[in-house]
Every structure is written in structure tokens, then in C-alpha cells.
Structure 1
Amino acid sequence: MEKHGWIIYNGHLPGGKFLEFAEWMQDSATKLDLSTRIIKNNHLLSLLSSEGNSIIERAKFERPDFVLFGDKDIHLAKQLELMNIPVFNSSEAIEISDNKITTYQRLAEKGLPIPKTIVGPKIFAGVTDIDTSGFNHLEDYLNFPIVVKEAYGSFGEQVYLIKSRQELFLKLARLEGRPFVLQEFISSSYGKDIRLNVVGDQVVASMLRTSSNDFRANVSAGGKMEIYHPSLQEKELAIAATKAIGADFSGVDLLFGPDDEPIVCEINSNAHIRNIYECTKINVANYIMDYICSKLK
């Protein structure tokens, strides 16, 4: 019996990369004789009532056997799961990945190598008089320069290199209540990192990203990319990091430690795949859909 799935993307984000991701997934599904429909998240409204959980659809869609969730609408993903529909990635994995604080907590729990990280205290929006005394012993754990990362952010944005305590306190005031972490700056990885795409138990594609004028190496921020052949240690770490957040597939960014030992920088549960295709000619969508197909069996 032919399986039918929904591929969900965000209908309010500008640009075509999110729809393109969905279309690549649909093309790969077609090759596997999987029937799919691309749907905007805002065309599916969650209905909660005493009769249970259901979906209000803009049009009447066939109930899916699975959902490939290319968005961060965590509540919609959870709603579909409550309706006993398999969702890839799961709402929990997306939620963990979307919040850098939660991501680092999971990685630390598993004993995986990460930059030394301090979670910033909750500061409500509108607070102008920030008590900085809690940072009096900061240099006992982190040396300047340090990295400040907002908990929510993509494409290397919302990440700042901070060179002094004065600069740090000015930045905290400008965050306006947004959650953040303070993090050890891995100077040995200045302007370079590795992106590894993990699907299931394997690394299916990887590339080296470099920047000559920025400590961040994101391609979207002007970084360059080239094919990279990861070591066994790098592959195992990327797979372990993906499993630590409970994801079926992910894009894992690794830094180069002082002795070239890999360090987990970030994990993206909704990693875009065009750049790595342009670099390696490997279509990660094919691996993702093949993985989902195997899970459905």
C-alpha cells in the first residue's frame, strides 16, 4: 500500500529557501514511490476540545501516514504527534535544537565535547537596571574574548564576539530580555568549522566552511565552502550529538579544538541542504526520505 505524507514548511517566512527545501524532499519522495503534499504550517490550525486533538485544514487533505516537518512550529508538530502521526524530526528534537541552552544542556549531560558554557540568568524584557554582580567571578571560568549567543537564532546570526566586561554588559542591555549563553571562544577554530549532515546512524555529507574576515564561518554570512572528508572521530561525534537531542537527521557544526579535536558548536534539526549540495553534489534529501521510508516499514 502506497504511503502518503505531508511536508510542512513555514508560510510566513520570506524568501524561497524554505519552500525549496520542501520541494527537494518531495522530489526525493517521488523517487521512492512516496506520495507527498507540501503544506504551509498556517494552513493547518490545531483544534483542542473535549473531543481530543484535531486539525483544521484550509483544504481537505488526505490524512498522512507521516509528516516531514521542515519548520519550527513546535506546537503544530506536537499536535500531529498527539494524533498518532509519525513526525520527522519529532517536536521534542526540534524544540531542543531550536534552543541553544537546551541543546548544550543535553550535550553536557551526555558528556560530549562543547565549549565551556554559562547560561545567562533570566532577565525580563523592559528591565533597564541589570544587576551584573553575578558575573563577578566570570573570569574564573571564561577568559575574554568570549562568545555571547542568543538562545534562538539561525545562520550565524545572534552570535557575538565580546572582548571585555564593559562590552559584555552593554550587549546584555541590548538583548532586551532575550535568553542567552556566555561561551568559551575557541580561537583555534576562528573563521572555520565543519558542517556534517547526519541521517540516522551515518554522516551522509560534510563540508569545510571558512571565512577570512569573521570568526563565524557561516556561508550565509559570506563564508566559503569546500568538500571535507571527516575523521572517524568527527563522524562519531556528529552522530552522537544528533542522538543526544533525539533527532532523526540534523546538520551538526563542529569546531576545531586546540589540538584539532572536534568540539560541538551547534545542531540544526532543520538544516538547509542546498549549500552542501552545491559543494559536494550530494543530495541529503535522498538520504532523509530513504530513512523515513525504512522507518515506515
Structure 2
Amino acid sequence: MSKTGWIIYNGNLPGNKFLDFAEMIRDAANRLGSNAQIIKNNDLLTLFGDKQIGLLSESELPDYIVFTDKDIYLARQLELLGVPVFNSSHVIETSDDKIATYQILAKHQLPIPKTIVAPKVFYSRKEKYLPDLDTIIEQLGLPMIVKEAFGSFGEQVYLVHSKEELKEKVIELYGKPFMFQEFVHSSFGKDLRIQVVGNRVVAAMKRTANHDFRANVTAGGNIEAFEPSEQAKKVAISAAKAIGADFCGVDLLYGSDGDFIICEINSNAHIRNLYNCSGINAADAIMEHILKAVRDKND
């Protein structure tokens, strides 16, 4: 009997990028004989009380769910109802929080930029207590990266060149979770996006930017298909395993000694650009992995 699935995406976001990702996953599932349908997160209301937990929906729960959104509470509710969710709510939550991600990677002794977390503060205070900027500069040097814990497409990542710039950025971000990181000069304007599924790399691309330290496509970066080295593959797979991801996009920076440094892990990395430049549809590998995991669980 074929497995049924829901592909959940955020129905409140503008544009077609997020729907496109969901459609690629759905089409791959259908090609593999699974009856999958796309559902907006805002069409599923969660309900719980002292004697009940469920969804305000007349639809029968599926055999599995591919969660392409960051609605952690909905993902966790579906897990509590007994439906396997890929990636799990815990993985999505960890991946979405870059500080939490780096802490786990550090615990696993994986290569990451040297990082200092800004202490938690409350925005409502009139007096702003800043961390010891001199000590931070002494540890990380200048220029350095200031990165918000939550953000996408490289838009919440900043390169600061002086103590004055650093102070201004800290005041600007006051009340938000963010971190300070050493700047990897050898990777200026270039990085690798590696798509990991299960225990293997299924595709990769190199991203480059001519006039920006970030290589994100949305920041003006260019893309090309790329065959990563065995070392790069090993680092990417280890990163995915560390946070427990079934599939993810791992961004690697070029280290000064030819090594690779983990920049970010995206549990819901969009795969359209990867497909356009490499011809490899990662959705097929993702759905093969998910359907196998569901079958193995039921056997």
C-alpha cells in the first residue's frame, strides 16, 4: 500500500520560492508512488486541552510529513500526534537558531569560526550595557562578522571593520540574540553549498560574489556546479549528523590552509538553484530517504 504524505509550507510568505520547493518535494514523492499533497501551515490549527490534543482539520493524518517551514509548534504538534516529521521539529529549531547550531557543532569538535555570543539583554532598559568590546576584538580581530541568531539568505550577517562600527552594530541589535565571529578572509565572496541526504552528499554548488563578502545568491552571488572533495563531503555529512538532520544544505567556507569551515546548516535549504546549475534534483533523494525511513519504521 502506498504511503500518504503532507508537504507543509508557510502560506503567509510572499512569492513562489517556498511553494516551488514544496512542489519539487511533492512531485518527487508522486514519482515514487506516494500520494503526497501540499498544505499551508495556516490551514492547520492546533488544538489542545487537559483531555485532548489534535488538529482542527477534517483531513486524515498522513503516513509522513515533509516540513518545509519553521512553524515549530505545528511540527511538534504533528509529532505528538504520532506522525513522522522530516526534518523533526528539534532539527528545524536547532538549524533556525545559528547560535544553537554552532554550540552543537563545537560539542562535536567540528570546524567552525571562532565565536563569542552576545549576552542576553532586555531592550526595554534605557541604559544599554554593552559587552567588553576590547576583549571581543582581542579574541577575534578586525574586521569581524556580527551575525544574528535568526535570519535567512545572508541578510542578517554584517562585516564590521572598526571598534566604532562594532559598537554601533551592537547598539542597533540590542535586545536581539546575536554573536561575534572571526572573519574567514580566505573565503571572501565564495563558499560551497552541499546538499546532504542521509549519510551522503547528493549535489553541490560553488557560490561566488564579486562585490560582497557573502556569496548568497540573493546577495548577488553566482552559482556553478561543483564536485566537492572527500574532505568537504566528510565535513558536510558530519555537520548534518551532529544536528540530526535527515536532509539539509550545509554551507562551507574555504579555510586558509585548504580546509573547510562550517558556516551554516539549513534544514530546509531550497534546491531549485542547485537543480538549475547541476541538473540534479535533490528532491528525489530526499523522498527516497524519507519513504525508506517510514517503511523501516513500520516493518
Same fold per superposition (TM over 0.5): yes
Report the alpha carbon displacement of residue 75 of structure 1 after superposing the two structures with TM: 0.7
Q: Which residue matches 1:89? A: 87
Q: What's 1:13 paired with?
A: 13
1:57-72 pair list within 5 angstroms = 57=57, 60-72=58-70
Q: Work out the CA distance in 2 between the residues paired with 1:31 and 1:133.
A: 54
CA contact under 8 A between 2:190 and 2:215: conserved in structure 1?
Answer: yes
Relative to the length of structure 1, the TM-score reads: 0.97
What is residue 30 of structure 1 aligned with on the other side? 30
Does residue 49 of structure 2 align to residue 49 of structure 1? Answer: yes
Match of 1:158 in 2: 156
Contact 2:119 2:131 (8 Å CA) reproduced: no
1:292 equivalent in alignment to 2:290:
yes
- Quote how far apart the aligned CAs of 1:52 are: 3.3
Which of 229, 245, 248 in structure 2 is aligned with 1:247? 245
Q: Find the counterpart in structure 2 of residue 220 from structure 1.
A: 218
CA distance in 1, matches of 2:237, 2:83: 25
Q: 1:189 aligned to 184, 187, 192, which one?
A: 187
**Aligned partners of 1:128 and 1:39: how far apart in 2?**
44
- 1:98 aligned partner: 96
Aligned-residue offset at 1:46: 1.1
SS class of match (1:254) = strand
1:123 positional shift: 1.8
Rounded Cα–Cα distance in structure 1 between residues aligned with 2:6 and 2:293 = 16
Cα-to-partner distance string for 1:44-83 (whole Å, 9 max, x where unaligned): 11111122321112xx212111000000000100000011
Residue 178 of structure 2: aligned partner: 180
Deviation at 1:230, TM superposition (A): 0.5
What secondary structure, in the 3-state scheme, does the structure 2 residue paired with 1:81 have? helix
Distance 2:179 2:127 in 1: 19
Query: What code does the residue aligned with 1:245 have?
Result: I
SS at match of 1:61: coil
RMSD: 1.0
Instruction: Kindly provide the CA deviation profile for residues 85-121 of structure 1, in whole angstroms up to 9, marking residues without a partner as x.
Output: 1000000000000000000000000000000000111
Task: State the SS of the aligned residue for 1:78.
Answer: helix
Q: How many residues align?
A: 295
- Please list the CA deviations of residues 173-195 of structure 1 after superposition, one character each: whole Å capped at 9, or x if unmatched: 11141110100000000000000
What is the CA–CA distance in structure 2 between the aligned matches of 1:235 and 1:87, rounded to whole Å? 25
SS, match of residue 112 in structure 2 = coil
Percent identity, aligned pairs only, is: 55
Aligned residue for 2:111?
113
Match of 1:231 in 2: 229
Distance apart, 1:172 and its partner CA: 1.2
Alignment check: 8 A CA contact 2:133 2:163 kept? no
SS state at 2:56 partner: strand
Q: Distance in 1 between matches of 2:293 and 2:52?
A: 27
Q: Distance in 2 between matches of 1:231 and 1:290?
A: 24
CA contact (8 A) 1:81 1:87 kept: yes
The answer (yes or no) to whether the contact 1:9–1:22 under 8 Å persists in 2 is yes
* CA distance 1:124–1:86, change in 2 (3 Å): same
Q: Deviation string for 1:113-163 (max 9, x for gaps)?
A: 000000111122234532235333123311010000000000011000011
Kept after mapping to 2: 8 A contact 1:127/1:176 = no
Instruction: Give the partner amino acid of 1:180.
Output: F
For structure 1, list consecutive stretches of 5 or more residues without a partner in the other structure. none
Distance 1:2 1:50 in 2: 35
2:258 aligned to which of 257, 260, 263: 260
Partner letter of residue 258 of structure 2?
D
